[in-house]
């Protein structure tokens, strides 16, 4: 059973991250330029406003957050602290781009991609931000980098370029911080939603939230076919409880809706939760 956790009214909700040490859900409203810190037990929601759009965030091992902004990444040492640039402002000369989705690996590196507003010119890219602040381009020719997630053993990296409707899987060389043997893991049919944010659970199954698809799907790592159920059709005995890595959180968007669409989607821009049978994976901390 899917439940509304927070009727936040976000323009473009993204990057839900469970911070176990704080027992808080962090997430961002990209176009609202806000970072949210939500107490799921009480519904209290702290909001931090920043000057740039925020593609994604992740907790740091030393405290605070790493944030991927419009032009580059930044460290936020404490709640309500000003973002401090970390690494090169690689997108500063690309006003049609901004950073988007990302994921931290077991070595404390942030794998983060960009998107371009010029969809006819695929010049966005996936990067690796190391704890020392160095930034390495992994591959380019993307339009909307999304769906970043690692298998439980760190040996597989999943990634989606959203407009292609495809999820790809890569072998990971953890020591070198490189990818190889990329192949299509699943190809969605046109008109049924596009792969957006993602996560991997303890069984290694890949969960994909579909933009304009109204559902979340789970794929077995052993075959590229849907495995499980849509988030919206969970059985009635699935009760959303306090997070123990068995509660899934999904953000949504409320931008660009007509009055008629908004009337039919009164909670667009909210954060939703639902109970899952298989636990998720603990969030890795950025090492910088």
Judged by DSSP in three states, 237 sits in: coil
| pLDDT class of 232 with cuts at 50, 70, 90 | very low
The sign one gets for the Cα dihedral 140, 166, 217, 213 is positive
Where on the phi/psi map is residue 8: left (φ > 0), alpha (ψ -120 to 50), or beta? Answer: alpha
pLDDT over 90 percentage in the chain: 88
Does 82 have pLDDT greater than 60? yes
In 3D space, the residue among 66, 142, 51 whose CA is nearest the CA of residue 103 turns out to be 66
Q: What are the φ and ψ backbone dihedral angles of 245, each rounded to 5 degrees? A: 70, 15
8 Å CB contact between 224 and 243: no
Q: Report d(CA 69, CA 52) in Å as an integer.
A: 6
Question: pLDDT tens for residues 51-78?
Answer: 999 999 999 999 999 999 999 999 999 9
| pLDDT class of 267 with cuts at 50, 70, 90 | very high
Angle at 197 between CA 160 and CA 206, to 5 degrees: 75
| pLDDT class of 27 with cuts at 50, 70, 90 | very high
Does 233 have pLDDT greater than 80? no
Q: Which long-range contacts (CB under 8 A, 24 or more apart) does 220-228 make?
A: 221/151, 221/156, 224/167, 224/184, 224/185, 224/186, 224/187, 225/186
For the entire predicted model, the pTM comes to 0.92
Q: Tell me, what's the pLDDT at 243?
A: 64
| pLDDT class of 258 with cuts at 50, 70, 90 | confident
| pLDDT class of 216 with cuts at 50, 70, 90 | very high
Sheet of 156-161, strands arranged across: 145-150, 156-161, 166-173, 178-187
Q: Write down the residue that tokens 């090169």 correspond to.
A: 88
Report which DSSP code applies to 178. Answer: E
Question: pLDDT tens for residues 142-201?
Answer: 999 999 999 999 999 999 999 999 999 999 999 999 999 999 999 999 998 999 999 999
Q: Tell me, what's the pLDDT at 235?
A: 28
8 Å CB contact between 99 and 113: yes
| Tokens matching residue 95 | 């006003």
| Tokens matching residue 212 | 């304009």
- 3-275: which CATH topology? Neuraminidase (2.120.10)
pLDDT over 70 percentage in the chain: 93
Q: Tell me, what's the pLDDT at 224?
A: 44
| Average pLDDT of the segment spanning 260-279 | 94
Give catalytic residues, as residue numbers.
196
The sign one gets for the Cα dihedral 34, 105, 132, 98 is negative
Contacts of 196 (CB under 8 A, 6+ apart): 101, 146, 147, 160, 162, 208, 209, 210, 211
| pLDDT class of 239 with cuts at 50, 70, 90 | very low
> Could you please report the per-residue DSSP string of 33-51?
TEEEEE-TTT--EEEEE-S
Q: Report d(CA 128, CA 32) in Å as an integer.
A: 26
Q: Report d(CA 181, CA 99) in Å as an integer.
A: 25
């Amino acid at each position: 059973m899917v439940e509304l956790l927070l009727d936040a009214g976000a323009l473009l909700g993204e990057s839900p991250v469970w911070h176990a040490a704080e027992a808080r859900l962090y997430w961002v409203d990209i176009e609202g330029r806000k970072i949210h810190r939500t107490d799921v037990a009480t519904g209290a929601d702290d909001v931090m406003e920043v000057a740039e759009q925020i593609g994604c965030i992740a907790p740091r091992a030393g405290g605070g957050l790493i944030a991927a902004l419009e032009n580059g990444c930044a460290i936020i040492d404490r709640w309500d602290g000003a973002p401090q640039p970390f690494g090169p402002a690689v997108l500063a000369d690309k006003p049609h781009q901004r950073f988007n989705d990302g994921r931290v690996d077991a070595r404390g590196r942030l794998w983060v991609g960009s998107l371009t507003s010029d969809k006819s010119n695929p010049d966005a890219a996936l990067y690796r931000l190391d704890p020392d602040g160095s930034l390495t381009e992994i591959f380019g020719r993307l339009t909307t980098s999304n769906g970043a997630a690692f298998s439980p053993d760190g040996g597989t990296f999943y990634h989606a370029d959203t407009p292609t409707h495809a999820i790809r899987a890569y072998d990971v060389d953890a020591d070198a911080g490189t990818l190889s043997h990329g192949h299509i893991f699943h190809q969605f049919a046109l008109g049924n939603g596009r792969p957006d944010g993602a996560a991997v659970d303890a069984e290694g199954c890949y969960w994909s939230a579909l933009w304009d698809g109204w559902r979340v799907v789970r794929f077995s790592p052993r075959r590229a076919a849907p495995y499980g159920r849509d988030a919206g059709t969970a059985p009635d005995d699935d009760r959303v409880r306090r997070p123990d890595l068995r509660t899934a959180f999904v953000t949504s968007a409320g931008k660009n809706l007509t009055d008629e669409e908004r009337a039919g989607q009164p909670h667009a821009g909210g954060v939703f939760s639902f109970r899952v049978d298989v636990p998720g994976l603990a969030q890795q901390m950025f090492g910088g």
